[in-house]
A and B are shown apart, each in its own frame.
Chain A
Amino acid sequence: MPQTSPSRPVPTPTPTSTINPTFSGNGNLASGYNPPGVKNTDSAVPLHPSAPVVHDYSCDGPAAGRLGFRWTYGSNVAARNRDPRVQVVQYNEDTFVLRQNVCVHWEAPFTYLLFGNDGALLIDSGATANASYYPLRDTVDAIITRWGQMRRRDKVPLTVAMTSGEDIAQSQGIVQFAGRPDTTIVPTPLEVMKRHYGLSVTWPLGTSRIDLGDRVIEVIPTPGAHRDGVSFYDPYCDFLFTGDLLFPGRINISNDRDYVASLERLKAFAAREPVKWVLGGHIDMMFVPGKHYPRFATYKPYERILQMEPELIDEALQYAHEVAGKDMMLIRPDFVLFNGVSPDQRTRVWPEGVPNIDAPHPF
């Protein structure tokens, strides 16, 4: 519940809703999270706060939210694409998902922006450094400014962290944040990054924390796809941000022993903490099982959704054991594992029991 200034007159209680709030689109007047003065918008933020709003991030189960929008998926003729360069989808009032336009960079990475009472965290930074192609900094600044205005906060310190500092598909946009006031950039060289998180001794065991103010993001070392891979756990939305380690796409295993060990730790973590979704850094899969877009594709109209169920950690672990020690690729309905082979490798081996459906050719 937001805390507003007690000096404000308390408005009369709002009446109980008599219309279906889903259809009215105006929030449920009766629900507890929809306090007086909020104009029944389902917002936890009062309309005219007189003091900085402090949000209570503790909740039973995952915080509500939805990814109710289709991701932009490029164009048949990439030069003619006129979609936004950064697609912003608001999951809930303190959680944003940003996607880079496929026609700016084919990797089309996802970037996550989380807010707490003391600051914001940007997970990953996109594949393009040039701000005129990919204005990540401007977009993030705009979101933060608006978020702060709604909560009467002048300063919202920002932390920029990577799921992998070496991955050029996730780390290029970081240069846009150089010199930004009130900004902490987690250093990217592996040893410095370990020291920053206080994990120099225990890496890859142990976890670290990024405290956003009542929303404490857990940092879990997960090398395997990248030498310096980390995952982040958000206990508010119950999201696990896994970057290149686990995502619905072509997972390039860079070290199979580390990869298996990291998935084992993630599995143990997911058994300990509630996980609603695993959110990776990209989408390569189509919505037909086991089919994926090739590298460099700039038109992906049949993309799978971004979110993965936590059970996929177990499945990934099971098949990571299978490819460990072998140079091979292995197709699963929701991801493809490449171990020791070219990222363009193909195979005739089709997983048993999975329907083999061809998506229509875009041409």
Chain B
Amino acid sequence: MDRRTFLSYNAAALTVPAVLTTYSNAALAAAPRPEPIDFKSNLPAAGSFPDRWICGSESLMDNTDPPVHVHWYNAHTAILRQNKAYSYEAPFAPLYFGNDRVLLLDEGFTQLRNDWDLRGVVDECIADWCARNGRDPASLELLVAFSHLHADHYAAVNQFADRPNTRYMGLTHEEMVGFWGMTNYPEEQVTLDLGGRDILIWGSPGHVVSEFAYYDSYTQILYTGDMFYRGRCYITFWEPWFDSMTRLMEFVDTHPVTHVMGCHVEISKDGEDYPYGLTWQPDEAPVEMTVAQLREAYEHAKTITEPGIYFTGTVFLCNQTRSFTTIDSNPYRYS
């Protein structure tokens, strides 16, 4: 199967069974198969974000929250957020369900299943969804993808290594681009069919070279990874980043977008910067942003010519400053 076929094929029809079981056509026809869920009408699908995500604690060893906050945005969309007491990166990870496949975007900053069993959590979510929709978890293919090649997004991928009926991205630029069957990165936009639910994917470099933007046509959430999120957008390569922003602008001009969602939150509701590595963000801003905020950031970005840190009102644009300049200052300084 070539990559283009892979993007749109009917996974359920081609599932390799975990045990050898054969069915006659008559048996297949007789098997109870619930009506496929309609992901194409009454868009955007209603959904909501929680008022408050788990956000670490004052004393980490006294943190009693679960390792991950699973929030069902709607019946067919879950969003995972790692506990800050398990990793300060605390990334978000959407889980999109289609009739044939499940897409997990980003993985949280964990490696070992006994540190934090992400795979177990994903399996639970899938079992939960299947129970609600009268489906067999084994019939769903899991796609484990990530927005870009940083460890807080891919480190957990090994947990899925022996999971049946699962595909995950490789850890090189070529493998990532190849996973989505792109030949003209970053401009090319591909459509991933999860079984009636289309995910639009295109290149969004700037934070790093290999990064993707994901648009879910069902909830109409635009997922921008670390390239644009509510916090410090570390822009390693300005020109590609600005081009990616231009592509996002063209996209939001032509497609309805309910929320723009990044991978982290590093800022308080009042715009106070939460410094890198902080493990308690009691007053953090919501993860979702509006299209207006994205446009505002783009307008602000047009005026930027020099490396430095710029606040757009929503996010900090850290133009080529990563590792060498931060926003925080010594609070005890006196003259």
Contact = CB atoms under 8 A, between A and B. Distances in A.
Contacts of B333: 254-255, 340
B326 interface: yes
B54 to A, nearest CB: 11
Contacts of B212: none
Given A79-B85, A106-B279, A363-B111, A298 B60 contact: yes
Contact of B325 (A77, A134, A255, A342): A342
A255 B275 CA distance: 23
A130 B324 CA distance: 35
B325 A345 contact: yes
Interface string B112-127: 0001100000000000
Contact of B59 (A130, A166, A338, A345): A130
Interface in B45-64: 58-63
Sorting the interface of chain B by its residue count into under 10, 10 to 19, 20 to 34 or 35 or more gives: 35 or more
Contacts of B83: 79
Interface string A338-350: 1010111111000
A104 B330 contact: no
Interface stretch (A58-66, A142-150, A289-297): A289-297
Interface string A76-90: 111111110100000
Nearest to A85: B61
Contact of A79 (B61, B325, B328): B61
Contacts of A134: 59
B275 A344 contact: yes
A103 interface: yes
A132 B276 CA distance: 27
B62 A133 contact: yes
B168 interface: no
Interface string B210-244: 00000000000000000000000000000000000
A338 to B, nearest CB: 7
B61 A338 contact: no
A167 B151 CA distance: 34
B171 to A, nearest CB: 14
A266 interface: no
A166 B111 CA distance: 39
Contacts of A296: 88, 275-279
Contacts of A132: 62
B325 A254 contact: no
B334 A255 contact: yes
B86 interface: yes
A344 to B, nearest CB: 4
A252 interface: yes
Contacts of A346: 323-324
Nearest to A75: B61
Contact of B67 (A79, A104, A255, A345): A79
Q: For A104, A226, A342, which residue has the most chain B Cβ atoms within 10 angstroms?
A: A342
A294 B277 contact: yes
B88 A104 contact: no
B22 interface: no
A363 B155 contact: yes
Interface string B251-281: 0000000000000000000000001111100
Ranked 4 nearest A-B pairs via Cβ: A296-B277, A78-B60, A79-B85, A133-B59
22 contacts: A77-B85, A77-B87, A77-B115, A78-B85, A79-B65, A82-B61, A103-B60, A103-B61, A105-B59, A133-B58, A167-B332, A225-B332, A252-B330, A255-B333, A255-B334, A295-B277, A296-B88, A296-B276, A296-B277, A296-B278, A343-B328, A363-B155
